[in-house]
């Protein structure tokens, strides 16, 4: 499966929800040990918890792939959900007004970061699907 720009954007925008769900389900599973009760399907909860932790881990790795400025834009705009004006203000606070970026530049930085993630994931997928493995 090719990692498209759309799937990457959707996953980045869902990051906070994934983290919250993983924490809530983790707490519910912990409760099972403290107060076992029959109202929850703990097998399904464990599977969901594992899937959410896996998704969170992948997104964390995506963020590590990015340079600091691109990571900041992704975290501020896509993950935290700030609009572009607020993202620009936050960028100025971190890097200073003299190093500030226009909204258009921030949008280009975000697009570049997403393309960087997609390229990395598609390289990994191609490597995993290839029969003759060459590491570059």
Name the pTM for this structure: 0.84
Indicate the Cα dihedral angle 51, 4, 1, 24, nearest 10°.
10
pLDDT band, residue 75 (cuts 50/70/90): very high
Report domain extents, the chain. Answer: 5-129
In terms of pLDDT, which residue wins out, 34 or 119?
119
pLDDT band, residue 8 (cuts 50/70/90): very high
Q: Which residue bears the tokens 């896509």?
A: 78
34 pLDDT higher than 70 = no
115 pLDDT higher than 60 = yes
Question: Two tokens at 102?
Answer: 């226009």
State the average pLDDT for the chain. 90
Contacts 24+ apart (CB under 8 A), 59-65: 59/11, 59/12, 59/15, 59/18, 62/8, 62/12, 62/117, 62/120, 62/121, 65/116, 65/117, 65/120
pLDDT at res. 126: 86
pLDDT at res. 42: 83
Question: Two tokens at 59?
Answer: 């997104």
């Amino acid at each position: 499966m090719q990692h498209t720009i759309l799937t990457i954007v959707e996953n980045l925008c869902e990051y906070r929800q994934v983290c919250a769900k993983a924490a809530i389900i983790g707490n519910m599973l912990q409760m099972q040990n403290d107060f076992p009760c029959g109202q929850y399907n703990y097998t399904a909860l464990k599977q969901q918890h594992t899937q959410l932790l896996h998704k969170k881990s992948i997104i964390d790795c995506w963020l590590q792939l990015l340079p600091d400025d691109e990571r900041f834009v992704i975290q501020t705009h896509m993950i935290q959900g700030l609009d572009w004006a607020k993202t620009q203000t936050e960028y100025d606070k971190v890097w200073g007004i003299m190093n500030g970026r226009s909204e258009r530049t921030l949008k280009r930085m975000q697009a570049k970061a997403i393309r960087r993630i997609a390229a990395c994931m598609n390289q990994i997928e191609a490597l995993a699907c290839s029969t003759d493995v060459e590491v570059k």
